[in-house]
Amino acid sequence: MMYGFAWDTSTPLAYAISILPILGIGLIVTLEATVCGFAIAMGVGLVFALLRRAKSRLITWPVGLIVEFLRDTPLLIQLFFLFYVLPQFGIVLPAFLTGALALGLQYSAYTSEVYRAGLEAIGRGQWEAATALNLTRAQTYRDVVIPQAIPRIVPALGNYLVSMLKDTPVLSVITVVDMLNLANLIGDRTFEYLVPLSLVGLIFLILTLGCSALIHVIERVLPKRGIALR
Amino acid sequence: MNPIIRFSNVTKRFGALTVLRDFDFEVKQGEKVTLIGPSGSGKSTVLRILMTLEPFQEGTLTLAGMPYHEPDGHGPFKAREKHLRQIRSHVGMVFQSFNLFPHMTVLRNVIEAPVRVLGLSRNEAECRAVDLLNMVGLADKKDHYPSQLSGGQQQRVAIARALAMRPRVLLFDEPTSALDPQLVGEVLGVIRSLAHEHDLTMLLVTHEMRFAREVSDRVCFFDKGQIVEQGEPERIFSSPEQPRTREFLASVLG
Amino acid sequence: MTWTQLLPNLIKGAEVTALIAVASTLLGAVFAFAAGIARVSGGRLLSAIALTYIEIFRGTSLLVQLFWLYYALPLIGISFDPIATGIFGLALNIGAYGAEVVRGALVSVSEQQREAAKALNFSGAHTMIHIVLPQAVIEMMPSFCNLAIQNLKDTALVSFISIADLSFHAQSLRNLTLQSVPIYTLTLLIYFAMALVIAAAMRWLENKLRRGAAFPKGAAS
Ligand SMILES: Nc1ncnc2c1ncn2[C@@H]1O[C@H](COP(=O)(O)OP(=O)(O)OP(=O)(O)O)[C@@H](O)[C@H]1O
Ligand SMILES: [Mg+2]
């Protein structure tokens, strides 16, 4: 992996600059894992949230248990579980996809709560008004409920996106070559971990502070009353 | 006798809004003064400045001869915390919304400050607290939490709590405005009995005109941060001189 | 190995996990209160220090933080044994999240309560300790519960710095026996059970606080 790269350990600054391009490659993997993982989390979480609104306890109860279980157990073990157990059932995925799937499943527990809270915040009166106007269920969701839920849901999802970003280094255990993995590999060669690890920390800090600032802006820009679709 | 409270040329601003401008006002020791006036005229502001809850920008204010500002003071109050605490030791306040401590029992609400601030022994503080609770008619509720009491009962506890600090000046900011009409009487009853305390100086903001007339030595009609008219209650209520006072009284007395 | 043979091995690891989780949660609570109170009423310098701490530890990955403490710090002459490093790292991380909870709860106590305290001439410290904190702590409990469970999950990462916790035992057992399904299923279930215990304990504590049992009549003297 490291072949073709050189580094200069003469001074910390020179060292940092020389390894920055390598870490850049890891950064792309980190971002890709976050995007894939979050796409899965948003989709699966929505399914969970809708299932938990089902009429029958036979559905809501087991789904609730699954969500609770996904939320309360460590990502690391869920990751190992998928990595070692899925192949036993003939499902062989690349490490990157296994990692994204694990991130997505863990965070689907969080996103489903976000959706649920967003939907529950819509008062009974809104549903009743929609019924009184003779809207169908689909129309009610599309025209009344979802537009009002968006300003609550989007910032909360954004915060979980940032959390997920910070969880991606765990994927390095299943050989995903992210920033942290590369920093450790460099450290193993040079016996100097302080600079690469600090640099990774700094990159994370910049990313998360930037994202948080962006979320604040979005939160402020989104009208509190909701956004009418179309 | 020197006045216990003296505002001279006090100016108070909230940003661009000037609430008090060159305000002059004096209260004698033991005097019972009621402030009346329309909403937003600055009545609460006067009490809150006296309680050191709000700083003011210009002029001087003294309490028993002690100035609020220190010559070398910093911060919004232009005074050190130590100095402010010395002033606060002479002043008590009863709030419109009671502001009892919800996590403490009635008794604890009353003894907390005497024990912690005045350094009274717990026994002594409790004895006094029970006396005060007896006076406001709530000794049997001493182990209840505020949330278990009615509004009128909570306000009576708040009065006992303020009295437990033995203030020389007691401020009431619309003490009955947050209460259901049938609970107003019990609180006014307690305040009325305090009005007989010779040494206690009382400053009362209220919309209960009949009560103001009954208990106060002086009524001040307030408008736009200024005292428009003041005098003995009988005179203010029966023959107000200023048109604005007349207008206000006509609107509240109906 | 059968499931019943695997279990005792995993339990051994779970004991280490429990120890680290409890210790780091308690230490984290200390950091959370210190930084949260400093943010709200610590003056400019303390508040800035607290903010820096909070942003750094909330803004970077826990795993990076642990590696940094474990691999990088010794290079500048500071080193602890792995368990201490793990507990310290987890506590710093969860403490930063907790500090935001503490800050939020402190500012949610109404201004009127502070004014009432001032009218009774309480000192600033007394107002914080006896008036504001007792009311704020109850507001903090649900978030603290979530954070304690988050911290339990995070302890799995200390296996990366060679601590023989539950995750570490699971991983070595798998390498030894290749029985992935029973090992990881059991491991997940043990973590889940511990999370349920934490949730129950926190709910018990919250109820105790809510009933006012934390402010007994004799506490004034
Ligand atoms: N914290 C504050 N910030 C800005 N303006 C304020 C603040 N407190 C009071 N004011 C303004 O100061 C003016 C006087 O307020 P104050 O509360 O003293 O009136 P008041 O006579 O007590 O009225 P009310 O009968 O409604 O209680 C009002 O215009 C009010 O809007
Ligand atoms: Mg007022």
Q: Which numbered atom of ligand 1 lies nearest the CA of B46?
A: 18
**What is the average pLDDT score of chain B?**
93
Mark yes or no for CB contact C215/B108 under 8 Å: yes
Q: Write down the residue that tokens 């391009």 correspond to.
A: A21
**Tens digits of residue pLDDT in B238-251:** 999 999 999 999 99
Q: Is residue A214 part of a domain?
A: yes
The structural domain count of chain A equals 1
Which chain C positions have a beta carbon within 8 Å of B108's beta carbon? Answer: 215, 217, 219-220
Q: Is residue C219 part of a domain?
A: no
Residue A3 pLDDT: 57
**Tens digits of residue pLDDT in A166-218:** 999 999 999 898 899 999 888 888 888 888 999 999 999 999 999 999 999 99
Q: Is residue A114 part of a domain?
A: yes
* Phi and psi angles of residue B60, each rounded to the nearest 5 degrees, phi first: -130, 150
Which chain A positions have a beta carbon within 8 Å of C155's beta carbon? Answer: 74
**Tens digits of residue pLDDT in B68-108:** 999 888 888 999 989 999 999 999 999 999 999 988 899 99
> What's the domain range around A88?
12-221
- How much distance in Å is there from the Cα of B35 to the middle of ligand 2? 10
Q: Is residue C106 part of a domain?
A: yes
pLDDT for C215 beyond 60 = no
pLDDT for C212 beyond 70 = no
Q: Is residue A229 part of a domain?
A: no
Residue C86 pLDDT: 95
What 3-state DSSP class applies to B169? strand
Distance CA C122, CA C129 (A): 11
- Tell me the shortest Cα–Cα distance from A187 to chain C, in angstroms: 9
- Tell me the shortest Cα–Cα distance from C206 to chain B, in angstroms: 14
| B35 in contact with ligand 1, CB cutoff 6 A | no
Can you tell me the mean pLDDT for B8-19?
95
Maximum average pLDDT range among A45-59, A63-77, B240-254: A63-77
- Asked if residues A26 and A179 have their Cβ atoms less than 8 Å apart, the reply is yes
DSSP 8-state assignment for residue A142:
I
Q: Is the dihedral of CA B124, B129, B135, B138 positive or negative?
A: negative
Mark yes or no for CB contact C118/B101 under 8 Å: no
| B44 in contact with ligand 1, CB cutoff 6 A | yes
Q: Does the CB of A46 have a partner CB in chain C at under 8 Å?
A: no
Q: Which residue of A has its CA nearest to C71?
A: A193
Residue A219 pLDDT: 87
Query: How far, CA to CA in Å, does A191 sit from each of A19, A184, A187?
Result: 14, 10, 5
Residue C220 pLDDT: 34
- How much distance in Å is there from the Cα of B8 to the middle of ligand 1? 20
Which chain A positions have a beta carbon within 8 Å of C195's beta carbon? Answer: 72-73
pLDDT for C58 beyond 70 = yes
| B220 in contact with ligand 1, CB cutoff 6 A | no
Best residue among B7, B18, B23, B41 to mutate for probing ligand 1's pocket (most ligand atoms within 8 Å of CB) is B41
Q: Considering only the beta carbons, identify the residue of C112, C121, C130 that sits closest to B165.
A: C121
Mark yes or no for CB contact C119/B92 under 8 Å: yes
Percentage with pLDDT > 90 across chain C: 79
pLDDT for C132 beyond 60 = yes
* Phi and psi angles of residue B14, each rounded to the nearest 5 degrees, phi first: -110, 100
Rg (CA), chain C: 21
- Asked if residues C59 and C51 have their Cβ atoms less than 8 Å apart, the reply is no
CA nearest to B117, candidates B161, B78, B181, B65: B161
What 3-state DSSP class applies to B21? strand
C204, with CB counted inside 10 A (0-12, 13-18, 19+), is exposed
CA nearest to A213, candidates B48, B49, C59: C59
Other CB atoms closer than 10 Å to residue C189's CB: what's the count?
A: 13
In whole angstroms, what separates CA C201 from the centre of its chain? 14
- How much distance in Å is there from the Cα of B132 to the middle of ligand 2? 27
Best residue among B10, B18, B34, B43 to mutate for probing ligand 1's pocket (most ligand atoms within 8 Å of CB) is B43
| B41 in contact with ligand 1, CB cutoff 6 A | yes
Q: What interface predicted TM-score (ipTM) does this complex get?
A: 0.89
Q: Is residue C221 part of a domain?
A: no
DSSP 8-state assignment for residue B204:
E
Mark yes or no for CB contact C63/A201 under 8 Å: no
| B206 in contact with ligand 1, CB cutoff 6 A | no
- Asked if residues A169 and C63 have their Cβ atoms less than 8 Å apart, the reply is yes
Q: Which numbered atom of ligand 1 lies nearest the CA of B38?
A: 25
Residue C144 pLDDT: 96
Residue B197 pLDDT: 87
DSSP 8-state assignment for residue C71:
I
| B19 in contact with ligand 1, CB cutoff 6 A | yes
- Asked if residues A7 and A15 have their Cβ atoms less than 8 Å apart, the reply is yes
Cite the DSSP H helix spans in C42-132.
Answer: 43-59, 62-67, 82-108, 111-119, 124-126
Residue A4 pLDDT: 61
| B42 in contact with ligand 1, CB cutoff 6 A | yes
Mark yes or no for CB contact C124/B113 under 8 Å: no
In degrees to the nearest 10, what's the CA dihedral of B138, B141, B145, B148? -90
Q: Is residue A204 part of a domain?
A: yes
pLDDT for A1 beyond 60 = no
pLDDT for B7 beyond 80 = yes
Which chain C positions have a beta carbon within 8 Å of B82's beta carbon? Answer: none
Q: Write down the residue that tokens 């809104």 correspond to.
A: A126
Q: Is residue A116 part of a domain?
A: yes
Distance CA A89, CA A78 (A): 16
Q: Is residue C109 part of a domain?
A: yes
Residue B198 pLDDT: 86
pLDDT for B64 beyond 80 = yes
Q: Which residue of B has its CA nearest to C124?
A: B81
CA nearest to B229, candidates B250, B243, B209: B243
- How much distance in Å is there from the Cα of B37 to the middle of ligand 2? 10
Helix pair C43-59, C82-108: axis angle to 10 deg: 120
Order of strands across the sheet that contains B17-27: B17-27, B5-14, B58-63, B66-67
**Tens digits of residue pLDDT in A70-115:** 999 999 999 999 999 999 888 999 999 999 999 999 999 999 999 9
Distance CA B72, CA B80 (A): 9
Distance CA C27, CA C92 (A): 8
Amino acid identity of residue A25, one-letter, is I
Q: Is residue A227 part of a domain?
A: no
Q: Is residue C194 part of a domain?
A: yes
Q: Considering only the beta carbons, identify the residue of C118, C130, C215 that sits closest to B88.
A: C118
- How much distance in Å is there from the Cα of B135 to the middle of ligand 2? 27
Q: Does the CB of B116 have a partner CB in chain C at under 8 Å?
A: yes
**Tens digits of residue pLDDT in B169-184:** 999 999 999 999 999 9
Q: Is residue A5 part of a domain?
A: no
Cite the DSSP H helix spans in chain B.
Answer: 43-50, 81-88, 106-113, 122-135, 151-163, 181-194, 209-215, 233-238, 243-253
DSSP 8-state assignment for residue C42:
S
**Tens digits of residue pLDDT in B206-227:** 999 999 999 999 999 999 999 9
- pLDDT grade, residue C57 (50/70/90)? very high
Helix (H) or strand (E) holding A219: helix A194-221
| B182 in contact with ligand 1, CB cutoff 6 A | no
Q: Is residue A166 part of a domain?
A: yes
| B62 in contact with ligand 1, CB cutoff 6 A | no
DSSP A58-123: HHHHHHHHHHHHHHHS-HHHHHHHHHHHGGGGT----HHHHHHHHHHHHHHHHHHHHHHHHHHTS-
**Tens digits of residue pLDDT in A6-38:** 778 788 888 888 888 889 999 999 999 999 999
Mark yes or no for CB contact C180/A88 under 8 Å: yes
Q: Does the CB of C187 have a partner CB in chain A at under 8 Å?
A: yes
The structural domain count of chain C equals 1
Mark yes or no for CB contact C167/A187 under 8 Å: no
Which chain C positions have a beta carbon within 8 Å of A180's beta carbon? Answer: 61, 63-64, 67
- pLDDT grade, residue A2 (50/70/90)? low
pLDDT for C221 beyond 60 = no
DSSP 8-state assignment for residue B136:
T
Query: Could you tell me whether strands B58-63 and B66-67 are parallel, antiparallel, or unpaired per DSSP bridges?
Result: antiparallel
> What's the domain range around C102?
3-214
- Residue A60 belongs to domain with CATH number: 1.10.3720.10
Distance CA C84, CA C20 (A): 9
- Residue C7 belongs to domain with CATH number: 1.10.3720.10
Compute the half-sphere exposure of residue C72: CA atoms within 13 Å on the CB side of its CA: 21
Residue B1 pLDDT: 66
Q: Which numbered atom of ligand 1 lies nearest the CA of B45?
A: 18
In degrees to the nearest 10, what's the CA dihedral of B16, B17, B22, B28? -140
| B239 in contact with ligand 1, CB cutoff 6 A | no
Q: Which residue of C has its CA nearest to B107?
A: C217
Q: Does the CB of B96 have a partner CB in chain C at under 8 Å?
A: no
